[in-house]
Chain A
C-alpha cells in the first residue's frame, strides 16, 4: 500500500496537476524565452525521448514489466514518419540525377527500380500518421499476446524484448534497399510543402511536441488514476492474488505494453520531424537501455520525474560531450552509478525524500493547509 502512495510522488490530485502546470510553464514559457533556437531544438529532441520514459513509467513503474526494447517502437514510429517525409522529398524533379527518378535515393543506390509495395501507402500523410501509432501498437500486441498469455514475465520478458530490438536492427540494416540500411533515412525536407528545416518550423515543432507531451502526461495520469491503473499496481505487487480475484492478468499487461509502445512511437515520429532523419541507431539494444536509464534517473514511479530525468541525462550528455569530448563517457558513467547507488528512486525519490517534506512544512506554516501535499514516508526498501 505504501508503494502505491509512493507512486503519487507529487501528492494528491492538486499536487499532480500543479506539477504538470509547472512543467508546462517550464516547457512553453521559460525554455523558449531562455534558450536560442538551436538549444531549444535540442530540448525538443530530448523531449521526444520523454515519451518513451512516460511509457516506461506505466509499463515498468506501475505494472512492473521491464521492457528493454522500447527503441523498437520509438524506431518504428520514427520510420513511419520518415517514410512519408522521404517520399515527399523524392519527387521525380528532385531526384532526376538518379537512374530511377522518383524513388528515395538509397533505393536507387541499391539498384531498386520501383518503389516497394509497402512504401506505397506512405504517400498519404493520414496513413503515415495512423501507422505511427498503429504499427508499433500492433507489434506490441503480438509480442505481448505471445509472451503474457504464456505467463512469460520478469527477466525473461526483458531479455526477449532485447532480442526483438536486435532482430529489428539486423533486419533494417540488412534490407538496406528497402530501409536505408545503417545510414537510415536521411535528408528529409518538407511536410506537405512546409519546410521543416527552418528555424520557424523548428519553433513550431517544439511547441507541438511540448503540447503533445503534456497531453500524454495527462493521459498517463488518467490511466494511473483509473481502476485499471490500480489493477496494474496490484498485479505488479501480487500477480497471483489479482489472478485469483478473477482478472485476466495477461490482458492488462498486453494493454499497458501496447500503450507504452504507442507513446514511444509518438516520440519517435516527433523525433524524425525535429531532427530530420531516422536511423537504426535508435532501434537497437543500446538506445533501448539508455531510454530505461532516463526513466530510472528520473524515478520510474513518477511521470514528471521521468520527464525531468530524460531532460537532465540528455542535457548532461550534451554538455559533458561538448566540454570534454574525450572523457565525457566516464562522467556519464559516474552519474549513473551515483544515481543508482545513492538515489534508487531517482530524482523523484530525491524530491519526495528531501524537498517535499520541507516544502510541506513551509506551506503548513504559512497556513495554506489545503494545498499542502500529503507526503508518504520514504519506503524504498519495503
Chain B
C-alpha cells in the first residue's frame, strides 16, 4: 500500500492560494524560532491580539485540557490528553503561538457529565483560557456545549461522533457519522459483495444515529438489514445476539459496540465459532486503544472503518508516532481519536496565526479553510461547518493489535453533520 505516495500527489495537486500562503508561513516558522524571545510578541502587542480579556500575556497564552483522567472513560481519554500535550510541547518548541508559549491548565471531567460542565465553566470564567481541547463522549460534549456558547469559548473536540450538531464555538476534529460510515459501506459492498447486514451497537445516541445512517444507505442500495440490536453500556452477555447472527447469516456484521462491552463481544463471537477471517465484520468503534483490551487474537480479521490508523505509512505519521512513543513510552498505542486530539492544538495555532488574534470571535471566523499539512492522517482542512475534510480508511485487525490499511478514499470526504435523506 503506497498511501504516502497518494497523499503526496494529492497534496501537491490541491490548487489553493491559501495553502500556498500557509506553506510559506510554515516555511518561515523555523525562523520564528530563531528570533529573540518575545520579538514576535512585540510585533503583535497583547492589546491587539487579545481584546476580550483572555489569559494572554506578552509571553504566554493559557489553554485548557478537559478530559476524564479518572473514572470509566479515563482509559479512552488518556490517549487524547497525551496527544494534546505532545502537540502543545511541539508548538512551544517552535516558539509558541503568535510568539507566546502555551501554558496548559488541565482539568479532570471524571467521566461525569456535570463535572465536565463545571470544569468547562471554570476554565472559561476563572482561567479565561483562549481555547479548550477536550471532551470525548457525546454526553460530555452536550453538557459543555451550552457553557461554551454562553461564555464564548473555543472547544476542539477530537472524537468521531454522530453529527447533528454544529456550533460556532466548537471545532470537530474527529469525523462525523457520514464521513465514517458511507465510504466503508461502499467498500464492503464492492469488495465483499455484501447483500445483508446485521447492525449491533451500544445503546446510546452515537450507535443509534450511526446505524440509522447505515441502514438508510444500505436500503438505498437495495441491500438488506437482517437485524438491529442494542445493548446497554457495559453489557457483557452477547450470546443471544450471536445466536441471532448465526440464524440470519448476514454477509456483514456491522458493530458499534463501545468500551468494555467490546471485550466480551469479540471473545464470545470467537467462542461461538464465528471466524472473523470468514465472516466479514466491520466495526466503527474499535481503534488500537480498544484492541489492547480485546486482545488481537480475538478480533484479528475484522475490519475497522476510521480515518487514521497507527500503521499509516506517510512521513508525517512516522514522525508523529516516533515523537508520541518518545514522550509517552514505547508501549503506547495511538488510535483514531488520539490522532484527532493531536490535530486540535495545531489547528488552533494555525487559526490564531491567520486571524492574528486570540479573540474567540476572530478564531471562529478564521477557522473555515484552515489547512494542516502536518497531520499524521495526511492533509486536513476545516470546513465552513467547523468539521474537518478528511479521508475514510478501512483497516484489517492483526493479531499484534495493529491494523493493515486495506483501503482509503481517493479524495477527502466532505463533512456533512446534517445529512439530507439520512434523517
Contacts and interface: CB of A to CB of B under 8 A. Distances in A.
Nearest to B139: A183
Given A322-B107, A325-B106, A279 B205 contact: no
B125 interface: yes
Interface in A152-192: 170, 173-174, 176, 181-184, 186-189
12 contacts: A38-B125, A41-B121, A173-B203, A176-B205, A182-B137, A184-B113, A186-B142, A197-B150, A275-B117, A277-B146, A281-B114, A325-B69
B209 interface: yes
Sorted nearest first, the 4 A-B pairs with minimum C-beta distance are A325-B108, A183-B139, A38-B125, A186-B142
A142 to B, nearest CB: 25
A328 interface: yes
Interface in A22-53: 38, 41-42, 45
Given A38-B126, A181-B204, A187 B232 contact: no
B233 A183 contact: no
B318 interface: no
Contact of B143 (A106, A186, A197, A329): A186
B233 to A, nearest CB: 7
Given A106-B205, A277-B113, 8 more contacts: A110-B205, A174-B232, A176-B208, A183-B142, A279-B114, A281-B113, A322-B122, A325-B69
A181 B232 CA distance: 11
B69 A176 contact: no
Interface residues of B, number: 37
A37 to B, nearest CB: 8
B204 A173 contact: yes
A279 B113 contact: yes
B418 interface: yes
Interface of B: 69-70, 106-108, 110, 112-115, 117-119, 121-122, 125-126, 137-139, 142-143, 145-146, 150, 162, 164, 203-205, 208-209, 212, 232-233, 418, 423
A366 B29 CA distance: 75
Nearest to B71: A329
B70 A329 contact: yes
A181 B205 contact: yes
Given A186-B143, A326-B69, A38 B122 contact: yes
Interface in A321-344: 321-322, 325-326, 328-329
Contacts, number: 97
A251 interface: no
B114 A282 contact: yes
Interface in A108-162: 109-111
Contact of B138 (A97, A170, A173, A183): A183
A321 B110 contact: yes
Nearest to A277: B143
A2 interface: no
Given A184-B113, A197-B146, A326 B108 contact: yes
A99 interface: yes
A277 B139 contact: no
Given A184-B113, A322-B107, A326-B69, A174 B203 contact: yes
A170 B232 contact: yes
Contacts of A188: 146
A276 interface: yes
A272 B107 CA distance: 23
A379 interface: no
A189 B149 CA distance: 12
Contact of A279 (B106, B118, B143): B143
A175 to B, nearest CB: 10
Interface in A84-112: 97, 99, 106, 109-111
A187 B205 CA distance: 16
